[in-house]
Amino acid sequence: MKTVKEAVDHYLPKKMNDEMSLGEIRHELQKKGDFSEVEINSICLNISDHELASLGEKKAFSFEFLNHTIFSYFMILASIAIFVFSYWRFNNLTKLSAITEVSDADFFVPIVFIIASSLFLVRHLIRVIKRKR
């Protein structure tokens, strides 16, 4: 390794495979003494730039399935099921409260689920209607 490019080509795969850190590369280059401090900084900067560029090229997991109409239909069905079950539970609690003493905290969960499922239902219905236009 006599040039900066050769050093970058040598150490870049080691850095990308996590065999060496940038600090270890810098320390090894200083220990060998083949390069000046400016050249070592240039080598480390080039390696860092290549690593950063490769991160941008990697494709992240895409959540595109959330935008599909099929997902909206699934959410509509799930919202209806949760709504019906929560409404049934709320009705049973009101009937049970006439017979025995039921705390107000028991009503909290069904009410929250009824509200949340209604919001999900409306949101996904609007999404499906907009897509059909």
Residue ranges in 1-133 assigned as alpha helix (H): 4-16, 22-32, 37-57, 69-99, 105-132
Provide the Cα torsion 96, 99, 104, 110; round to 10°. Answer: 10
Is-contact 93 102, C-beta < 8 A?
A: yes
Q: What is the pLDDT of residue 59?
A: 64
Domain residue spans of the chain? 4-57, 64-132
Q: What is the pLDDT of residue 61?
A: 66
Q: HSE on the CB side for 16, CA within 13 Å? A: 16
Q: What is the pLDDT of residue 1?
A: 66
Q: HSE on the CB side for 115, CA within 13 Å? A: 6
CB atoms within 10 A of CB 67: 11
Q: What is the pLDDT of residue 124?
A: 94
Tens-digit pLDDT string for the chain (133 aa): 678 888 888 888 888 888 888 889 888 888 888 888 898 899 899 988 888 888 776 666 677 778 888 999 999 999 999 999 999 999 999 998 888 888 888 899 999 999 999 999 999 999 999 988 7
pTM of this prediction exceeds 0.85: no
Q: What is the pLDDT of residue 60?
A: 63
Burial of 11 (0-12, 13-18, 19+ CB in 10 A): buried
Q: What is the pLDDT of residue 54?
A: 80
